């Protein structure tokens, strides 16, 4: 608990709010606000704060830019000093899954992706443990894989797709270490923060810890590790129940579902100047509300998107954000899946009472999702605006997350989802599934496509018993693999997102330049190469899946019947 005390103290003093943070970030000493809050201290924080207070008094609390720069250079270390490169000890040449890839060019590429894990490995230096007060980085005992680029610490939901790739690379020890880091965070803070920095402690990210454990245990059969940590998994789900639950009424009945909600104001430290300027025209009380909604948006993982702007005064402007006013499909599907897995875990461990408890929780959530989020006519689930009492019927790949999570009762929903994609014209995009059809300039909107969202749709459709629907899932996988492969062939890099509007290109928009690496993109590519390795080709881009797609799928289904 000592590290928690230091973390919270440090967070409040230097890295999360206060005059030092405000003056440095508003002076825009760096192109990216994240750079400053990722710097470690050269000396004790009390000394840094004391000397800053003296400087502030000299300049009447308006320190000139040059003096601020000199102060930061004197008392802060350059970014990245607290981490060292780490080559995972369980990395090895030629993991088995490569042999399943028939196309020679794709097999070579997959091997190159396997090599990238060595570039993304990080280990904390001992001084982060001995002097936690000097770092924004939260100490973690075990080495880990990072996304890449500006993201040199671990992130919560990214790590699930990273782990899927690592398990295919036969790196179960690395996965176990990352899981141990997450479990330790739950024990210390009661939840997993957005990422591995003290300034992320106020918010979490999509809850995939239980799923990570399931993938690891399925791969290793390490039920001892599961038994040792089952209570911690339950504690993490309790965080969402206690702090992120909302009651929604429909048809005279009340249902409990979850939403993203961060009840803390103040600008995000890593985007401080942007948040301060965005809120500047607003009355003071409204500023705090805006900042809390921005933090809820980052908790969703979709920072930022038209998903969270809908229903606001100007749905094209980030200042209209109202994340907490929506009940998201994906969050509730992730929790539904976690409840099912917890029931399975307790059964494995011989605790039938707890297995029944979680089975009942899943059944309650399933009923709530069908009552509040499911739209039978459209054949999909939709985020629910509980304040305005209506669904957001715009297209987002997250609308089909319950398929991927296995959180549905009617086996026909995968085929209905295919018709929904057809009706939404999504199958006409031949380079990947766009994140939305709204062009707001935000990174989780058109024309960007993100690897985890491809996975949600592809593996969701692949659950169908219908050969035609399964074939569309394959064709979507083929499109995405070609996009990744073509860009890699041109640039020798994997990216966090791709522009799918007109050919295959790295994505853009949002608050920072597109990043290379890239953890979850690599993980999804390896997943698809493993799943469809005997069929995927490195040839020309697949033709678009136009209006005939549904006819083809129906023909497949009739033939199978």
As annotated, the active-site residues are: 303, 496
In this structure, what are the phi and psi dihedrals at residue 6, rounded to the nearest 5 degrees?
-60, -45
Closest CA to 392 of 472, 327, 448, 441: 327
Q: Which residue has the tokens 């089909």?
A: 400
| Helix 158-168 with 519-531: angle, nearest 10 deg | 50
441 class by beta-carbon count within 10 Å (0-12 exposed, 13-18 middle, 19+ buried): middle
* Cα of 348 vs its chain's centroid, Å: 29
Please provide the distance, in angstroms rounded to a whole number, between the alpha carbons at the two ends of the chain.
60
Vertex 429: Cα angle to 428 and 430 (nearest 5): 105
For residue 133, the tally of other CB atoms under 10 A from its CB is: 16
In this structure, what are the phi and psi dihedrals at residue 342, rounded to the nearest 5 degrees?
-65, -40
> For residues 323 and 260, is the Cβ–Cβ distance under 8 A?
yes
Classified as helix, coil or strand, 218 is helix
Please state whether the peptide bond connecting residue 13 to the residue before it is cis, i.e. omega within 30 degrees of 0: no
Residue 25 CA to residue 33 CA, distance in Å, equals 6
Cα separation values, 67 from 56, 73, 204, Å: 10, 10, 36
Classified as helix, coil or strand, 398 is helix
Residue 257 CA to residue 366 CA, distance in Å, equals 10
């Amino acid at each position: 608990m000592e590290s928690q005390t230091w973390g919270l103290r440090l967070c409040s003093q230097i890295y999360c709010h206060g005059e030092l943070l405000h003056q440095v970030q508003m002076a825009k000493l760096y192109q990216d606000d994240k750079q400053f809050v990722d710097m470690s201290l050269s000396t004790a924080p009390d000394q840094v704060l004391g000397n800053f207070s003296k400087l502030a008094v000299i300049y009447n609390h308006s320190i000139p830019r040059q003096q601020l720069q000199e102060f930061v250079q004197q008392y802060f270390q350059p970014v990245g000093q607290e981490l060292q490169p780490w080559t995972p000890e369980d990395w090895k040449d030629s993991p088995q899954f490569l042999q399943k890839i028939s196309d020679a060019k794709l097999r070579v590429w997959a091997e190159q992706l396997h090599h990238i894990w060595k570039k993304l490995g990080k280990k904390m230096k001992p001084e982060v443990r001995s002097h936690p007060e000097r770092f924004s980085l939260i100490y973690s005992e075990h080495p880990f894989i990072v996304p890449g680029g500006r993201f040199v610490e671990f992130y919560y939901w990214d790590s699930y797709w990273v782990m899927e790739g690592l398990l295919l690379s036969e790196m179960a020890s690395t996965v176990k270490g990352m899981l141990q880091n997450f479990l330790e965070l739950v024990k210390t803070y009661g939840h997993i923060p957005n990422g591995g920095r003290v300034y992320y402690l106020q918010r979490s990210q999509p809850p995939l810890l239980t799923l990570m454990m399931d993938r690891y245990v399925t791969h290793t059969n390490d039920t001892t590790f599961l038994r040792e940590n089952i209570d911690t998994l339950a504690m993490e789900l309790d965080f969402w129940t206690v702090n992120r639950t909302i009651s929604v009424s429909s048809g005279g009945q009340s249902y409990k579902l979850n939403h993203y909600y961060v009840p803390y104001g103040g600008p995000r430290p890593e985007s401080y100047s942007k948040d301060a300027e965005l809120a500047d025209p607003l009355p003071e009380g409204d500023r705090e509300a805006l900042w809390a909604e921005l933090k809820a948006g980052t908790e969703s993982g979709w920072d930022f998107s038209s998903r969270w702007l809908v229903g606001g005064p100007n749905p094209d402007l980030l200042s209209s954000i109202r994340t907490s006013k929506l009940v998201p499909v994906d969050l509730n599907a992730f929790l539904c899946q976690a409840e099912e897995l917890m029931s399975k875990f307790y059964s494995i461990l011989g605790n039938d009472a707890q297995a029944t408890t979680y089975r009942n929780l899943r059944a309650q959530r399933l009923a709530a999702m069908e009552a509040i989020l499911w739209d039978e006519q459209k054949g999909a689930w939709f985020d629910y605006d509980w304040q305005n009492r209506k669904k957001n019927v715009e297209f987002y790949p997250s609308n089909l997350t319950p398929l991927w999570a296995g959180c549905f009762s009617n086996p026909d929903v995968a085929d209905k989802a295919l018709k929904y994609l057809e009706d939404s014209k999504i199958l006409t995009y031949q380079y990947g599934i766009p994140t939305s059809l709204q062009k707001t300039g935000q990174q989780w909107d058109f024309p960007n496509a993100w690897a985890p969202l491809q996975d949600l749709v592809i593996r969701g459709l692949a659950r169908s018993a219908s050969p035609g629907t399964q074939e569309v899932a394959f064709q979507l996988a083929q499109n995405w693999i070609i996009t990744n492969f073509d860009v890699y062939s041109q640039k020798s890099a994997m990216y966090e997102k791709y522009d799918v509007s007109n050919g295959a290109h790295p994505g853009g928009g949002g608050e920072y330049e597109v990043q290379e690496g890239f953890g979850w993109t690599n993980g999804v590519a390896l997943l698809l190469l493993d799943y469809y390795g005997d069929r995927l080709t490195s040839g020309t881009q697949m033709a678009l899946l136009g209006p005939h797609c549904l006819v083809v799928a129906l023909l497949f289904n009739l033939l199978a019947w």
